[in-house]
Amino acid sequence: MNKIKHKYNTVKNTILSDRRNGFKNTAYAVAELIDNSIQSAFRLKHKKTEVTLIIVEEKFSISGKNYDRISEIHVFDEAEGMDQETLGKALSKGQSENKNDVGYGRMGRYGFGLYMSSISQCKRTEIHTWQNKRYLKSWLDIDEIVNSEEEIEYVPVQEIEDLPKNIKDIIPKTFEKNGTVVSWTNLDLTKWKTATGLFKNVEDEIGRIYRYFINDGSVQIKFKFFKKTGGNYKLVEENFVRPNDPLYLMKNTTCPNPWSKKAGFVESRPEKLHVNLNGNKHEILIKFAIATEEFRGKEKPAGSEPHGKHALRNNGVSIIRSGRELEVNKSWNNPSESRWRWANAEIHFDGIKEMDDFFQVKPNKTGAENIYYRDIKKIISDYEMTEPAYMNYLQETNQEEYVATKISNKIKERLDDMIETIKEYRSKKSIPIGGTPEDTTSKYRNKRKNKTQQDKEKEKATKAQRIKAMQDRLVASGMSEDEAMNFAKASIDRDISTIITSEKISSPYFFDVRFNEGQYQIIINKSHPAYLEFFNLLEKESEGRSFEEPSSDRAVKLMLAAWASLEDESSSTNSEYSNHLQDIKLRWSQIFRDLLTINKD
């Protein structure tokens, strides 16, 4: 029997369906080309890699009218160039050499990058590459493939004498002996139609994807915009792409002034999780950051300010693979809570096959399908299990889902804590009223028969001195001087002589007590682990309750106020006993800290 050979598929049949391959937008498709340039330079161990993104715009007649439209997109580098074998694989589906790379610059994975990104945006892709001034050309033309009477199966590679004029017109007149230009024309699917405002969009996406490389100086991405008229190219704009940092910890970024030059968030304690895959232990790092009061707005909320809108666009959990962002995942976001923009997180992991498979990294590197928010309360309700029982069940039956759920829970818990910190700070800007711990403690002091040294200091101090002492403490906690003055005046007018603030202090105390002009100044230490993991949980639990209702938050504040009274009374009667109290408070704070962190080592 004669065996008839049949192909599993043909280029004609697959290339049109491959065009809809899930790239989020043109920036993500261009990022695949930039990946190739960066990896090429990393292989050469360049200390600094420069990649140039070139946009060309020209006039087109549409329905009898002339419109400016982007006609060409090029990505140019002067790294290693390609030989004939490598060039032949570059436009072949799944054959790219980048998938074999390892180490810091290993952004490739599947070998689909150049082929898939190119056909997702345009009908014709050309590559011009050179090594030691030997020039090669390759191309992929969808119309040519689809309309050909014969089946086109192989990637064309030609040796040419020199680069064509249109390429020479847009790259530097003197260029290195090795290099590559990838060019897209016949742009039928690109989201970039005109160059107006394009650089800002390029920075928002490209600057965010490569922010770590740009920030550490290992990569420099240049943007060049040309106008083309009658075959001539005129340079209109040239800029370097700045990093776009969703954690707002970097400087010289895309964030609107004055925040482009300085950090707007402060970094919070990171979390580290570990997973064993095929006998190998891998680390997953989760970073967190929270906006400073100045960034959020001192006088009024800054959500409507340019930098507030910028933070809203960047809001989400950034997924970072080998230093390169895959996506900003918004599944953790709370769209009904405007303050959510003031806290963000990042997940970092190495781009090795085991981790890619574990997190289900997409072939086009636009996300990791196994990283998203799990609503643990709904899940355990559906399973009719407690949360510990459900997590034990996952640990025994599905290691992948167990780790992903731990990541989800940890991010949700920490982001909730940070948002509550912001709410707690805002709530402190209201004047203390009857029933607050501050008011209750002040009334206790006024009623006690045996007057302490601080009671006497209070009686001696003038009203202006007491206002100034309280104002200084409030400014130290982050209030503006005007707000602190208004707060202090209203408090002193109501004869409130106790203030509770949250501040960073260098001592290991969870809280400290200071006396000034007869006032109790109780300071909860923001640097102590209990600040986020304990104190703000109590604030959240008591949110919305009146001071007449029982609450853990009010009870803890009264407990701290009781300690302040104890220190005051003991220092007035027995100095040795007072010294013992300081030793006890210090040791208690240290034990409290150790208990909160013992499982994080």
Residue 151: per-residue pLDDT: 80
- Residue 249 is assigned to a structural domain of this protein: no
Q: Stretch 399-428: mean pLDDT, rounded?
A: 82
Residues 6+ apart with CB under 8 A from 411: 286, 317, 332, 345, 347, 373
CA dihedral 310, 316, 317, 323 (to 10 degrees): -30
Note whether 393 and 496 are same-domain residues. no
Rounded CA-CA distance 343/246 in Å is 9
CA distances from 259 to 202, 262, 264 (A): 19, 5, 6
Residues 6+ apart with CB under 8 A from 17: none
Q: Stretch 12-28: mean pLDDT, rounded?
A: 80
The residue from 225, 240, 255 where one domain ends is 240
Residue 566: per-residue pLDDT: 84
Three-state DSSP string of 462-526: CHHHHHHHHHHHHHHCCCCHHHHHHHHHHHHHCCCCEEEEEECCCCCCCEEEEEECCEEEEEEEC
Q: How many domains does the chain have?
A: 3
Note whether 420 and 434 are same-domain residues. no
> Is pLDDT above 90 for 224?
yes
Give the percent of the chain with pLDDT over 70. 86
Specify whether the backbone of 197 is left (phi greater than 0), alpha (psi in -120 to 50) or beta. left
Note whether 470 and 361 are same-domain residues. no
> Exposure pattern of 314-342 as b/e (b: 16+ CB <10 Å)?
bbbbbbbbbbbbbbbbeebbeeeeebbbb
- Residue 351 is assigned to a structural domain of this protein: yes
Token pair recorded at residue 549: 């209702």
Is the distance from CB of 66 to CB of 60 less than 8 angstroms? yes
Pairing of strands 519-525, 498-503: parallel
Note whether 420 and 435 are same-domain residues. no
Residue 141: per-residue pLDDT: 94
- Domain range for 507: 429-600
**Average pLDDT over the chain, rounded to an integer:** 84
- Residue 257 is assigned to a structural domain of this protein: no
- pLDDT tens for residues 231-254? 899 999 999 999 999 999 999 999
Residue 583: per-residue pLDDT: 79
Residue 437: per-residue pLDDT: 84
Note whether 408 and 433 are same-domain residues. no
Three-state secondary-structure class, residue 408: helix
Residue 596: per-residue pLDDT: 64
C-beta neighbour count of 430 within 10 angstroms: 10
* Segment among 179-188, 407-416, 434-443, 572-581 with least mean pLDDT: 572-581
> Is pLDDT above 90 for 319?
yes
> Is pLDDT above 50 for 53?
yes
Note whether 505 and 528 are same-domain residues. yes
Residue 100: per-residue pLDDT: 47
Q: Stretch 453-481: mean pLDDT, rounded?
A: 86
Confidence band for 534, pLDDT divided at 50, 70 and 90: low
Note whether 288 and 306 are same-domain residues. yes
Rounded CA-CA distance 344/250 in Å is 14
> Is pLDDT above 90 for 323?
yes
Determine phi and psi for 421, rounding to 5 degrees: -60, -40
Is the distance from CB of 442 to CB of 497 less than 8 angstroms? yes
- Residue 326 is assigned to a structural domain of this protein: yes
Residue 218: per-residue pLDDT: 92
Which amino acid belongs to residue 531? Y
> Is pLDDT above 50 for 574?
yes
- pLDDT tens for residues 31-44? 999 998 998 888 88
> Is pLDDT above 60 for 1?
no
Give the percent of the chain with pLDDT over 90. 42
Residues 6+ apart with CB under 8 A from 582: 567
Q: Stretch 6-10: mean pLDDT, rounded?
A: 57
- Residue 245 is assigned to a structural domain of this protein: no
Pairing of strands 178-185, 124-131: antiparallel
Note whether 586 and 462 are same-domain residues. yes
CATH code (residue 231): 3.30.565.10
- Residue 531 is assigned to a structural domain of this protein: yes
- Residue 252 is assigned to a structural domain of this protein: no
Note whether 451 and 541 are same-domain residues. yes
The residue from 373, 406, 425 where one domain ends is 425
Note whether 64 and 79 are same-domain residues. yes
Note whether 452 and 578 are same-domain residues. yes
C-beta neighbour count of 125 within 10 angstroms: 25
Instruction: Report which DSSP code applies to 99.
Output: G
Note whether 340 and 438 are same-domain residues. no
Between 46 and 84, the more confident residue is: 84
The residue from 240, 274, 303 where one domain ends is 240
Three-state DSSP string of 109-161: CCCCHHHHHHHCCCCEEEEEEEECCEEEEEEEEHHHHHHCCCCCCCCCEEEEC
Residue 480: per-residue pLDDT: 67
Confidence band for 103, pLDDT divided at 50, 70 and 90: very low
- Residue 462 is assigned to a structural domain of this protein: yes
Residue 365: per-residue pLDDT: 83
